[in-house]
Structure 1
Amino acid sequence: MTEYLSIPTPAGSFDAIAAGPADGRPVLLLHGFPEAAIEWEHQLAVLGAREYRAVAPDQRGYSPGVRPERPAEYAMEDLVGDVLAIAAELGWHRFDLVGHDWGGAVAWWTAAEHPERVRTLTAVSTPHPAALAEALRTDEDQQLRSGYLTEWRQTRVTEQRMLDNDGEALRRMFEWRVPDSHVEEYLRRLFEPGALTAALNWYRAGRPDGRIDTVPVPTMYVWGTEDVAFGSTAALATERWVTGPYRFEMLEDVTHWVPEEAADAMAALLLEHLRST
């Protein structure tokens, strides 16, 4: 049964959904753009039924209670700080961390900088940030895939283009691979005043300070072969950036939207990974 939480932190209160017993092994799941916590709805139910305590927050900018206006307030250090603050409020010293898309990037950084807090890492779609950075420098295919970033970072008319015609551009982004009920809920939220700008501020905050290190915790990386945003170069190179036990799962004919498009497969892989540690 899904629970609805409000998690107070120094940055504000995060909305979240949760499942499973309060004393279950803690799992924190981070969503991507332009989604929300409900992208993990299926995995939450599966984890909760197996006695894990699974919590998925609407992250900074997506929770109305934590929606700062300046792009600088969406820096990676703030996003990682939110993860640690949410975990602290939940009373979790160590937890399993799962992230998709932007949530995957935050999860990589959290595991690299605070491995003592992260029992296991599961990154979905998003390769290790250093592997992606290298691909952006050397791989023409990845450069083409990431071409949208320039527009999203530099122009405020992006919001209008995405919202025109009842959010037609946002709907196309999901490639008809995400349940209609989720898409409608995402659009309802993004049409709230300031919500889409807050979500895009993740792209406009600038690159993280410093260089990300290798990840020493047990890690599983799940990537769909039809992912439009992340190509095989960065996906295959991610292994070099994990020093702990590593598992790479390649899902054939699956796009970027793994948690919803391949919900059963993602839940099964996640359970296997958690049980292995």
Structure 2
Amino acid sequence: MSARSSDDDLLQPGWRSSRRKVGAVTLHVVEAGKAGAPLVILLHGFPEFWWAWRHQIGPLAAAGFHVVVPDLRGYNLSDVPDGIDDYRLDTLAADVVALADTFGAERFHLVGHDWGAVIGWWVAALHATRLDQVVLMDGPHPDVWGAQMLKHPSQALRSTYAAFFQLPWLPEATLGSFDHAGLRTMLQGSGKADTFEPGALNRYVAAWRNAGSLTGMLNYYRALRRRERPAAPARITPPTLILWAEEDRFLERHIAEASLAQCDDARLEMIADATHWLHLEQPARINARIIAWLSEAPAQKR
């Protein structure tokens, strides 16, 4: 468990913090909006935490949604299981569905970025009947990422960090030394000069300091490497909007296109003048697209 007990200093008026028992773990959750309104779950990526959605929570609640934003297992104030197998995709997807269950929601909307999008793809693959609309940003369908790296050497080069993360202890030592200077540098170098507002990275560092969190975060990558390659990529049936930054330094456009090809009902929109952190850099535009997509009837999307 983590050393800190609260993120209350980050909460804005109307935001609520709680802990939810989800299977074998307890997740820290921030929510906003009226309970009983259409539920939308926001899934953050690596190496963020619930605060990644600080620009989206208020506008989505104001638009009439019940917004639920967990710290994923291994992150910030949520439980940190020890084993690599505790971070397998099936387990991560089950966490999301079980979280919706704690709010009594038979169906819900799902929004994910980076690793949150990877998990979102897998929730859509395994639990399609639980989902209404889906928005996935700069995160690959897990069944296409490896094949795209084999086809595109430039993408393989961009993804060398994922191979480095497979090593024992060395990534923790490299990224965590000097109070996580390596992770801080990675974030700063992958965005624009003003992507992270003054003091934002200090908030991230505070989350990374929690006992076991750095290893938990890296275990997402280690567990993904253990997946067996499927005979064919899983098909995605819920209506899905894919938002992809044109200046993403980690993931090339062909990954988005390959992910789109596995969808029965989806749209890909490229976001100009945005890096991997598009939800932080262009919040007004991203919020408008999320709200419009979640608010439309499925038939209007086709």
| TM-score range relative to shorter protein | over 0.9
Find the counterpart in structure 1 of residue 58 from structure 2. 45
Among 236, 244, 248, the alignment partner of 1:227 is 248
Q: Distance in 2 between matches of 1:258 and 1:5?
A: 27
Q: Distance in 1 between matches of 2:212 and 2:109?
A: 32
Find the counterpart in structure 2 of residue 156 from structure 1. 169
Among 114, 127, 133, the alignment partner of 1:120 is 133
Secondary structure, in 3 states, of the residue corresponding to 1:24? coil
Q: Distance in 2 between matches of 1:118 and 1:84?
A: 9
Give the superposition deviation at 1:163. 2.0
Find the counterpart in structure 2 of residue 174 from structure 1. 187
Among 93, 101, 115, the alignment partner of 1:88 is 101
Q: Distance in 2 between matches of 1:82 and 1:34?
A: 18
Name the stretch that deviates more: 135-144 or 6-15: 6-15
Q: Distance in 1 between matches of 2:181 and 2:77?
A: 23
TM-score (norm 1): 0.95
* Matched ranges for 1:14-29 at <5 A: 14-29=27-42
Among 213, 227, 233, the alignment partner of 1:195 is 213
Unaligned runs of 5+ in 1: none
Q: Distance in 2 between matches of 1:182 and 1:31?
A: 15
Secondary structure, in 3 states, of the residue corresponding to 2:181? helix
Q: Please list the CA deviations of residues 66-108 of structure 1 after superposition, one character each: whole Å capped at 9, or x if unmatched.
A: 2111111111111011111111111111000111111100000
Find the counterpart in structure 2 of residue 142 from structure 1. 155
1:172 partner amino acid? T
Secondary structure, in 3 states, of the residue corresponding to 2:157? helix
Q: Distance in 2 between matches of 1:124 and 1:97?
A: 11
Report if aligned partners of 1:11, 1:66 keep a CA contact under 8 Å in 2.
no
Name the stretch that deviates more: 193-202 or 52-61: 193-202
Give the superposition deviation at 1:178. 2.3
1:224 partner amino acid? A
What is the aligned-residue RMSD (CA, Å)?
1.5
Q: Distance in 2 between matches of 1:195 and 1:132?
A: 25
Report if aligned partners of 2:41, 2:69 keep a CA contact under 8 Å in 1.
yes
2:38 partner amino acid? R
Give the superposition deviation at 1:168. 2.0
Matched, 1:265 2:282: no
Name the stretch that deviates more: 205-214 or 53-62: 205-214
Report if aligned partners of 2:248, 2:274 keep a CA contact under 8 Å in 1.
yes
Q: Percent identity?
A: 31
Structure 1 pair 65–224 and aligned structure 2 pair: CA distance change class (3 A): closer
Secondary structure, in 3 states, of the residue corresponding to 2:288? helix
Unaligned runs of 5+ in 2: 1-13, 298-302
Report if aligned partners of 1:118, 1:217 keep a CA contact under 8 Å in 2.
yes
Q: Distance in 2 between matches of 1:249 and 1:232?
A: 11
Matched, 1:133 2:146: yes
TM-score (norm 2): 0.87
Secondary structure, in 3 states, of the residue corresponding to 1:116? helix
